[in-house]
Amino acid sequence: MRPESTPEAVPAAAPIGPAGPAFFALPPALARKADPALIAVDDAHLAAIRDRLAAEIAGIEDRLVRLRATRARAGQEALDRDLEIHRSTSRLQLLRRFGVDLCLGRMVAAGADEPVYIGRIGLTDSTGRRLLVDWRAPAAEPFFAATHGDPQGLVSRRRYRWASRRITDYWDEVFDPEGLDGAAALDDQSAFIASLGASRSPRMRDVLSTIQADQDAIIRASSRGPLVVDGGPGTGKTVVALHRAAYLMHAEQRLSQGGILFVGPHRPYLAYVEDVLPSLGEDSVRVCTLADLAPEGRDGDRMPEEQDPLARRLKSGLRLLDAAAAAVRYHEHAPEQRLRVETPWRDVVVEPAAWTEAFDAPEPGTPHNDARDVVWDALIGSLVEDDADDDVPPHLLDRALRQSAVLQRAFVEAWPVLDPAGVVADLWSIPAYLRICAPWLSEAERAVLRRDDPRAWTRQDLPFLDVVRALTGDPAGARRRRRQEAVTAEERDYRERVLDELLAADDDKESAITGFFFGDDSAGVREMLLDEAALPRLDPDAFAGPFAHVIVDEAQELSDSDWAMLLRRVPSRSLTIVGDRAQARHGFGESWEERLERIGLRRIQQASLRINYRTPEEVMAAAEPVIRAALPDANVPVSVRASGIPVRHARIADRDAILADWLAAHDEGIACVIGDERPFGHPRVRLLTPVTAKGLEYDLVVLVDPEAFGEGIEGAVDRYVSMTRATQELVVLDSGR
């Protein structure tokens, strides 16, 4: 996030832990785990964490008071002050948000004298003693990566479950019973697995304390090149993607400097996951949907799809994007005839070669609108050089040519300012223009692309708007730059006049004023007098990039032209690509490697998640045949837990009664109705479609008339996705009942 010069709001302080050392609030059913022999060491350590947090919070608060009271000069000093305020505020928000529950658990290594405690952040006491190891640090890796097959040098591991800053449960795993020095509370492994299906909240909670070894290996994988993470429902793809973003920002300096863009499938998804990255101590990752990459797509998730299958197929490919590039080049047409320009001294003849030379002046890749000033300056410069003589000073000839209405009109026709949306609209509404820009299209293909309202944008238009905007640049950008340069020049002139007046009024040429403003070290002082507040600010698009790394979730839905939008923002080709081929609504018959190589990616690494931690066995048993019927080779994950609740079938008319009964029986958790948007009016009930439910999860899913979703792959995928959103219970309402 960009630091602001205004003070940042910080939530009011909350208690960071109990007044005493009793950090465990285990229910009666877990009384055996409350044995002091099991928890006394943890109690003492958590008390030390509590005390250190209190001291650090007080120190940050004092530092913020001092920083905000400091009058920083303009320029770098002000920027450094604001950055420090931002960093301090972010850490204070994190400490107040969690307190002692920053601690995720502990691990005991073979031969170690004491446990190592893992936290959301690193923490040391005033003597330098390590209280918490940041979960992203290499030293914390065994806590997540250890398995009984590969214990990573650990004797044991303990994970905590926190509620209201008390530990309400914990799980011990022993990897080497002979090396265990002390007691451990051993549960059946199913107790920990069952905890993964705890009630859902309106927003996703980070699951640091339950990250599994297969997930952790992907989170910590190198960012060099593209990495594909393929996994079915409930395997933790989104968890991996979000935690990987936080990990990479911490672990790889080049990414923290270049920034990470995280792309989700739709706005309900973004709302669901928005708390995860801040809870992981990361607030600088840019998060958006694919549609957000183009300004025309930022009106929400209801932008229509292209209805005609042929039009959708044409716009989904890469070749038609070449037509968009040709549409921009079409407006860069050097005149082929001589032009006579009158000046107060004589006529100046502009030869076609002068235009051609000027058109070659911009650096390759310069956007069309940004290049206008370069072309114009090059044209005027060449004319002045060719026609200036002793009778006509060059600066006067330069001014006369720039003010010539004839030359200005010719230049506007040869290199006009382009509106990106207007260029794309012309492609879809002017048949001759599309024929020139895409001569390979048949008459039938051009006809299906034509529309009466050319700016009635669909989801498939966004890649074209994006590429044209990249090729043209901001139509107002050059104007803003010229204004900024003019204001800067005016400010500098004013500064020099003030300094001249100061010098003239100072009779003592050896005075402090003269030395301060006119001495050998006065350049920096003079720069400080420039009023930066008077300068017009350029406001670059936050999602324009380039970024050092891009993470995209639900990537199986992206078309080739969608990928072009993303790849334009990550020149390094450093990507994390998360998806499930079996959840692609329009089919995904090829391999990931084939799809990605077609769009220009190389040296693709792949990882697979095959264990379903979210969806109970009962639901997967019903969902698997649905997707297998359409996609026999679908990567259907294996569920590791059961809810004990069979899938139910009922009538559509029973919807409200089913929801009311569930709400009455459950004090927490979220229910979702998929396929029926009739209002219900309860804060714990969501109404979604199969598309907007993708990537989300709910305790109860009520699936309404799934057969109405249609036939073929699209219908099967919609049913499969909808069914596998359930973490506890699935009820299917059939129209035939």
Q: Which residue has the higher pLDDT, 140 or 81?
A: 140
Q: Which pLDDT does position 83 carry in this prediction?
A: 79
CB 692, CB 704: distance < 8 Å = no
- Structure tokens given for 456: 């009635």
- Structure tokens given for 221: 């994988």
Q: Measured between alpha carbons, how far is residue 561 from residues 445, 473, 568 in Å?
A: 17, 19, 11
Q: Which pLDDT does position 385 carry in this prediction?
A: 85
Q: Which pLDDT does position 367 carry in this prediction?
A: 93
Which DSSP state fits 654? G
Q: Which residue has the higher pLDDT, 6 or 133?
A: 133
Q: Is the pLDDT of residue 534 over 60?
A: no
According to DSSP, the β-strands at 726-734 and 698-704 are parallel
Share of the chain above pLDDT 70, in %: 83
Q: Measured between alpha carbons, how far is residue 660 from residues 657, 678, 680, 722, 727 in Å?
A: 5, 15, 10, 21, 19
- DSSP letter string over 574-621? -EEEEE-GGG-TT---S-HHHHHHHTT--S-EEEEE-EESSS-HHHHH
Query: 43 pLDDT band (50/70/90 cuts)?
Result: very high
Q: Is the pLDDT of residue 511 over 60?
A: no
CA torsion 615-617-619-620 (nearest 10°) is: 80
Query: 184 pLDDT band (50/70/90 cuts)?
Result: confident
Q: Is the pLDDT of residue 97 over 90?
A: no
**pLDDT tens, position by position, 213-239:** 889 999 999 998 999 999 999 898 988
Query: 434 pLDDT band (50/70/90 cuts)?
Result: very high
Q: Is the pLDDT of residue 497 over 50?
A: yes
Q: Is the pLDDT of residue 303 over 90?
A: no
Q: Is the pLDDT of residue 308 over 90?
A: yes
Query: 270 pLDDT band (50/70/90 cuts)?
Result: confident
Q: Which residue has the higher pLDDT, 85 or 605?
A: 605
Coil, helix or strand at residue 349:
strand
- DSSP letter string over 476-537? THHHHHHHHHHHHHHHHHHHHHHHHHHHHH-S-TTSHHHHHHHSTT-HHHHHHTS-GGGSPP
Q: Which pLDDT does position 65 carry in this prediction?
A: 86
* Nearby residues of 472 by Cβ (< 8 Å), 6 or more positions away: 328, 367, 368, 369, 418, 419, 420, 423
Query: Of 657, 725, 647, 715, which Cα lies nearest the Cα of 232?
Result: 725
d(CA 696, CA 682): 18
Q: Which pLDDT does position 508 carry in this prediction?
A: 54
195-209, 342-356, 359-373, 694-708, range with the lowest pLDDT: 195-209
- What predicted TM-score, i.e. pTM, was given to this entire model? 0.81
CB 354, CB 367: distance < 8 Å = no
Q: Which pLDDT does position 641 carry in this prediction?
A: 85
Q: Which residue has the higher pLDDT, 270 or 192?
A: 270
Coil, helix or strand at residue 24:
strand
Angle between helices 420-429 and 462-472 (to 10 degrees): 130
What φ, ψ does residue 662 adopt, rounded to 5°?
-65, -45
* Nearby residues of 163 by Cβ (< 8 Å), 6 or more positions away: 25
Q: Is the pLDDT of residue 530 over 70?
A: no
* Nearby residues of 46 by Cβ (< 8 Å), 6 or more positions away: 17, 21, 23, 100, 103
- Structure tokens given for 231: 């996994």
Amino acid sitting at position 394: P
**What's the average model confidence in pLDDT over 648-668?**
95
Query: Of 181, 173, 246, which Cα lies nearest the Cα of 207?
Result: 246
* Nearby residues of 608 by Cβ (< 8 Å), 6 or more positions away: 229, 230, 231, 635
Q: Which pLDDT does position 521 carry in this prediction?
A: 45
254-268, 523-537, 717-731, range with the lowest pLDDT: 523-537
Q: Is the pLDDT of residue 11 over 50?
A: no
d(CA 704, CA 652): 7
Q: Considering Cα of 630, then 632, then 634, then 636, what sign does the dihedral take?
A: positive
Share of the chain above pLDDT 90, in %: 54
According to DSSP, the β-strands at 116-119 and 130-134 are parallel
Query: 195 pLDDT band (50/70/90 cuts)?
Result: low
118-122, 320-324, 363-367, 510-514, range with the lowest pLDDT: 510-514
CB 241, CB 215: distance < 8 Å = no
Helix spans in 213-287 (H): 213-219, 237-251, 253-258, 267-273, 276-279
**pLDDT tens, position by position, 443-488:** 999 999 999 998 999 999 999 999 999 999 877 665 666 566 555 6
Angle between helices 394-402 and 368-387 (to 10 degrees): 140
Q: Which pLDDT does position 282 carry in this prediction?
A: 81
Q: Is the pLDDT of residue 687 over 50?
A: yes
Cite the annotated binding site for ATP by residue number. 231-238
**What's the average model confidence in pLDDT over 548-568?**
95
Q: Which pLDDT does position 163 carry in this prediction?
A: 85
Q: Which pLDDT does position 533 carry in this prediction?
A: 47
Q: Which residues of 330-352 are buried (b: 16+ CB within 10 A; e: fewer)?
A: eebebbeeebebebeeeebebee
* Nearby residues of 158 by Cβ (< 8 Å), 6 or more positions away: 42, 105, 106, 107, 115, 170, 171, 172, 173, 184
Q: Which pLDDT does position 510 carry in this prediction?
A: 53
Q: Is the pLDDT of residue 529 over 50?
A: no
**What's the average model confidence in pLDDT over 356-369?**
92
What φ, ψ does residue 278 adopt, rounded to 5°?
-60, -35
Q: Which pLDDT does position 516 carry in this prediction?
A: 46
Cite the annotated binding site by residue number. 231-238
Query: 702 pLDDT band (50/70/90 cuts)?
Result: very high
Gyration radius (Cα) of the chain, Å? 32
Q: Which pLDDT does position 24 carry in this prediction?
A: 93
Over the chain, what is the mean pLDDT? 85
Q: Which pLDDT does position 478 carry in this prediction?
A: 59
